[in-house]
Amino acid sequence: MNRKYEEYRSLMQKISDVSYANALLSWDQEVSMPPKGAAARARQSATLSGITHDLFTGEKTGTLLEELSGDKTLSFSEARNVAETYKSYKKAKKYSTDFVITLSKTISESFEAWNRAKKENNFSIFAPLLEKIIKLKREEAGILGYTEHPYDALLDQFEPEAKTKDVERIFEDVKKELVPFVKEIATHPQPEQGIMFMHYPRQKQWDLGIELLKQMGYDFEAGRQDISTHPFTTNFGALDVRVTTRINEHDLGEMLWSCIHEGGHALYEQGLNNGDYGLPSSESISLGIHESQSRLWENNVGRSLPYWKANFPRLQQIFPENLGKASAEDFYKAMNTVKPSLIRTSADELTYHFHILIRFELEKALIEGSLEVKDLTSAWNKKYKEYLGVDVPSDSKGVLQDIHWSHGLIGYFPTYSLGSFYAAQFYSKASADIPGLEDQISKGQLKPLLGWLRENIHQHGKLYSSEEISKRITGEKLNFKYFLRYAKNKYAALYNLKAETEKTS
């Protein structure tokens, strides 16, 4: 046993202990903290962030990593762990402890301001804190360094090695291929959506969500579900992975998609190697790959007809007055209506990417300085009219609808689209590898798919990059054609566009 490596492992676990304790405070802040605890929580989180930073960037860490980085006796996984940690260490060394504490405190205060602003439908409450966030993020981009665009430095934190120009190229495909396809769909009759918006009692929805999570394979002995304003997943190691959902008694989709989406995230975290707690091999690769797991379960599985052939009879038992006379096919068509809308999390899986495109363009402009926070609301509303053809009626349904900026997550949004495109590519390969996959899904048998994901993605942690894992699984890097083929085949059939089905089959 390599003594230095074990010393490194012990130190990384100690740092993770502090970091996860801080994450637990953040989870509590969003789920159950009383409002008057906000100021103290901001201080507590900032203190723990500072301690984590000092431990990670300390002389002991640097010495260990430098010695181990040249050690030829390390195994493949040990060497990759050290290399990933050393890369993170070099980045972290660029930050001062004061900057880390200031950013953490500002984020904590910003979340509370966003929450109040959203409830009161008043962007001006949040704007001053967002201005501080943007200023700090511009400073952070400078601290980290970049060669082409300051947004590169922030994007890299969520999707390592990705560049702004890469995201722009992908969104050019979205504009070129998806925009005209959505316009074509708009010329055809829309399915009846009414059954999605009847009265669905809160407790019955909650109980259904728990059932669906269990069916997916989510381990409630290693997790729990709660309610939050904005659904999210957080983890404190593979054996404590928590999800939240939200429930709207007049929109069944809000609970369904948040449960299945966050369940996908949670399955990834629960499938990581807990034996390597604290090391990169026990951590997710990137946010793009993370989102591929949530979007695969939400869209490729959860919005599919086979999934509802298995689950619709149970829905009819729970909600007989609403769904007793409907069929699984009716429900499938209602949930897959393609129609421009205001809210990202409620968007269909095609126009969803227009929502992401808008946020990407706004973030990029904010970071490069071509847009200021004071002009953000009007810029947001203008883009919603341009890309989606909808008028934004209020701040809460517009610029305040997402929590991400209050958490300082600038550079995060593009990973939602990257994740959807990875998901289609991975699901295509899973379908080829697992005989009769859709037949299994139609019988409620989801374990084969989860097993495939565990074997090909989850267990590897950060031992491979996003591009490497994609090539290992599918033989090529991210390719938008898989999503386009999936989308055109599915929606051409739903909207009776026979020529498109033939063209892309």
Residue type at 368? E
Burial 96-116 (b: 16+ CB within 10 A, else e): eeebbbbbbbbbbbbbbbbbe
**What distance lies between CA 177 and its chain's CA centroid?**
23
Distances (CA, A) of 166 to 161, 214, 287, 418, 468: 10, 37, 15, 11, 17
3-state secondary structure of 241: strand
Identify whether 262 is a catalytic site residue. Answer: yes
Q: In what order do the strands lie in the sheet with 223-227?
A: 223-227, 241-245, 233-235
Dist CA 38 CA 63 (whole Å): 38
Distance set, CA 210 to CA 108, 219, 224, 226, 420 (Å): 30, 11, 9, 10, 24
Tokens of 210: 């728990």
Q: What is the DSSP string of 186-199?
A: HTSPPPP-GGGGS-
Catalytic residue, chosen from 140, 262, 291, 363, is 262
Q: In Å, how far from its chain's centre is CA 212? A: 19
Indicate the DSSP class of residue 183. H
- Cβ atoms of 5 and 69 within 8 Å: the answer is no
Question: Contact at 8 Å (CB) between 476 and 470?
Answer: yes
Active site residues: 262
